[in-house]
Structure 1
Amino acid sequence: MTATPPDQTVNPLTPGVSIDHPGVTELFALLAYGEVAAFYRLTDEARMAPNLAGRINMASMAAAEMYHYEMLRDALERRGVDVVPAMTRYASALENYHRLTTPSTWLEALVKTYVGDALAADFYLEIADALPAEAASVVRAVLSETGHSQFVVAEVKAAVTASDKQRHRLALWSRRLLGEAITQAQFVLADHDELVDLVVSSPDGLGRLTEFFDRLQRTHGARMQELGLA
């Protein structure tokens, strides 16, 4: 059997979306900057940890982010794209999100790590559904659960079980993360037509994107419950 050339690969659920769609490059670049930004954020926030175990856990998560960045860099290079100028186009939106959601305590840093990163993953995986199989596999590999964030659940739940004040404070913080994540996602889509076209080129794409923002609210609620913040 003759293999299908990569630049002709399409997702059978989204006919017409090819691997060389410009939106694929834009998505990889957006993800790449997100991984680099997350690396620096995690290394900075590790200094807030009250003990060595917390610092090690944050450092392990930061290391995973750089591994994911390298996967995206390699994927972009295979497409003939220089990763640095490509991903720099997304610096403003992502840095703005982090600026507006800078944690002031260790517990806020943990909640942002767990909830904020999960919201970003929801956004990217939604777009991945519109990708050809080869590109979708890259996105899913980059966003795969490493297990590192599970320490967050235990630590936050212990803190909020012991203090109603912390529970209310972190619940408000979590809702703020949701609001800023949705706002910045909308800004990114508004500024980058290639990404919008990638999604709406699938059958029911626009409707699916609208429904996605509704689903974010529901999945966020489930994560708050897992953290003991519901």
Structure 2
Amino acid sequence: MRTVGLLGGMSAESTTYYYQAMNRLVRERLGGLHSMQLLMWSVDFAPIAKMQADGDWAGAGAVLARAAARLEGAGAEAIMIGANTMHIVADQVQAAISVPLIHIADATADAVKARGGSRPLLLATRFTMEKAFYRDRLAAQGVEAQVPDQADRDRLHAIIYDELCQGVVSPASKAEVLAMIARAGDADSVIFGCTEVGLLLSPLDVAAPVIDTALVHAEAGVRFALS
């Protein structure tokens, strides 16, 4: 089994999900007492979140690039950034290492197409929904993501940072996000495009096919480890 390095803590809530999912997937594939061979660097999210809010993406990228280089030095044979939004600095992280970066948007695009979709609704932080880095990467693979309107984007961003990243799961917020999905128009699938969204909603809550990015990214990491 090859060793994967995970940049986590963004937030700690979803990093826990990554760890559980990858170990479960390895056990399902190999059986018995097998588990994921994983190195993790978990950042303090508060300074990263402030850099995000301030638009200091280069500073945030430098933090992750240093951590990724340390994971490679410790033996990681590939790196994963356990957050959709922080893939805005994926190129900066990749430039700091010589091993591959397993990109969450690539895993997401593959999963959308595998479910027969091409026009998914992207539910994510405001950064991921509004900046080009993520939607352009999906579009390059034939997936044209739609996003909610401005008011819904702002509310969803607040739910992610003020509630989900802090371990708060509210039935009222769940109802709000389901209403956003109902207003989505002609979307043929739904991307849980923030790794915390899957903590609030289940695929069973949504009639359309769902792509939980944390899960499909974890699956991509396990495929690498076992390849």
Greater share of residues in helix: 1
Greater share of residues in strand: 2
Greater radius of gyration (CA): 1
What is the TM-score with the length of structure 1 in the denominator?
A: 0.29
